[in-house]
Amino acid sequence: MPGRGRLAGEQPAGTVQQVVDRWTADLSRDLAGRRLYLFGHSLGTLFAYEMAGRFTAHPVCEVAGLLISGAREPGHVPRSLIATAFATVRAERRLTDEEGMQKASI
C-alpha cells in the first residue's frame, strides 16, 4: 500500500477507492481469465469487498469467493475502567454524568 513497506516513499492513498483503483489496475493483467478468491480480515474486509465489487462490475477475472473475518472485542471491560474514562472526559470537557453516559450510548 502506498506510504507503507516497500512503497513507503510514495504518497499514501487518501481513500479506500484509491487503494482499490491501484490494486485492481496492478492485478488486472495477471488475473485475466483466472479465478480469484479474496480474503479480508478486520479492516481488510472493506478492501476485499470493494475489490470483489470492482472485479464483478468490470470482469477481468471470475470472483470465485469472498472470505471475510473479524474478531470480537477482547472481553468485558471492568466498570471501574469505564468510570475512570468518564471521569477523565468530564474533567476535560466538564460533562455531567448523565451527559457523558448519553454521549457514549451506554
Instruction: Determine contact, residues 46/60, Cβ cutoff 8 Å.
Output: no
Considering only residues 39 and 72, tell me which one the structure prediction assigns the higher pLDDT. 39
Q: Which of 68, 44, 66 is nearest to 53 (CA)?
A: 66
pLDDT digits (tens, 9 = 90+) for 13-28: 788 999 999 899 999 9
In the chain the beta strands, taken as DSSP E runs, fall at 35-41, 62-69
Per-residue pLDDT band at 70 (split at 50, 70, 90): confident
**Whether the Cβ atoms of residue 20 and residue 48 lie closer than 8 Å to each other:** no
- Say how far apart CA 67 and CA 79 lie, in whole Å: 35
Q: Does this model's pTM top 0.85?
A: no
